[in-house]
Chains A and B, each alone.
Chain A
Amino acid sequence: DAMVIQNPRYQVTQFGKPVTLSCSQTLNHNVMYWYQQKSSQAPKLLFHYYDKDFNNEADTPDNFQSRRPNTSFCFLDIRSPGLGDAAMYLCATSGTGGGYTFGSGTRLTVV
């Protein structure tokens, strides 16, 4: 089935140690998004790619970066994770007609 796959499902990292979360899609959608969702809160958009064009939200910290080497893959890099970065990170894609598809998320724990 066409889908959005996030790896790993759970990630534990040390304070200050760089970490990368990955997302892949088989939908061939142009747009890929990264959302951060803290406990009991709504998902918050960090950035998105329209094809190779990167679009950063104004309030996304510089500590968060992203790469999209091709249509299928998108990575979220956290350069120096802090305790406040512990959250669920959701990847999503969208195509025409308002269709958004979310992955299962990666739960990041910072110790």
Chain B
Amino acid sequence: AQSVTQLDSQVPVFEEAPVELRCNYSSSVSVYLFWYVQYPNQGLQLLLKYLSGSTLVKGINGFEAEFNKSQTSFHLRKPSVHISDTAEYFCAVSPSGGYNKLIFGAGTRLAVHP
């Protein structure tokens, strides 16, 4: 079975500052990793995903994440945040290959202040 731990429930940050949202996972098999963003009363939008290959993954809106297999982590980073990045961010994992359900972390609320 897989599990995901998002280490921070809330992250406050000032506009134009860098941010890192932390995610650790647990799995006995190889996995795919995802970050999703959710704005109020909206569905989930994919920011980026790691399937294989380069461990540094670049996504939309200037976000990137690095897969670290030894530390079982997949932290999300952005060098300079905007007010519009205020949202809930979910890290998710699924077993690699085939059709498998996503397991979500509890979410991190990113609050960007002017």
Contact = CB atoms under 8 A, between A and B. Distances in A.
Chain B residues touching A, range: 20 to 34
B44 A43 contact: yes
Contacts of A42: 90, 104-107
Interface of B: 32, 34, 36, 41-46, 49, 51, 90, 94, 96, 99, 101-102, 104-107
A94 B96 CA distance: 13
A33 B42 contact: no
Interface of A: 6, 30-31, 33, 40-43, 45, 48, 50, 88, 90, 92, 94, 97-105, 107
Contact of B42 (A31, A40, A98, A104): A104
Nearest to B98: A96
A106 B112 CA distance: 27
Contacts of B99: 30-31, 50, 94
